[in-house]
Structure 1
């Protein structure tokens, strides 16, 4: 359901230059207020597609429930994040990461490569 909604909502893929713009559109990226060369990041910016953001975060929460004790790189990243952050923040971070994985698949027609999807902390 999330994949269908994502493809239907994006429509013209050329309106986003990169993955960061793509994740900011549904409100999964941090709100930014920068001035004088000082970058200030706040919570998520809830300006974009509410329904898509909700689906992405609920999908991430489902992954959080199943990641405990697994040894793959993404589950280890989730475990490290859980040690430091609130579960809601981890869910949004995972939704953001998932959206950044989806971006090259949509924009360039690439296939999913799980070994390259986990970024260092």
Structure 2
């Protein structure tokens, strides 16, 4: 729905400007920039969700790469966030980054990951 709002930004701004009752709800350029930013975040998480749900054979390495990609995306978004951004926004993005770090750590600590790593020489000898 946010993507559609961005597609019709000019029409929305024009309508709100012409309707007195809606003038308190007029969006500033900063508001529109915020909507664009949130749309970008939602797209990244949607992409990750789609990748994980369409995988025919779930693999730890795939989940690891997806989590890492999301974490890097959030890190970049935090770096681009203006100093004027609300503290709640900073906090939410930092929490999301931390949560992905927790998952990243859990994957590294998984006995399956260690087992698969120890099996690599055997697998290579079968196919190598």
Whichever structure has more helix as a proportion of its residues is: 2
Q: Please say whether Structure 1 and Structure 2 have the same fold, judged by a TM-score greater than 0.5.
A: no
TM-score w.r.t. the length of structure 2 is 0.24
Relative contact order, CA 8 A, sep 6+: which one is greater?
1
Larger gyration radius, structure 1 or structure 2: 2
Bigger strand fraction: 1
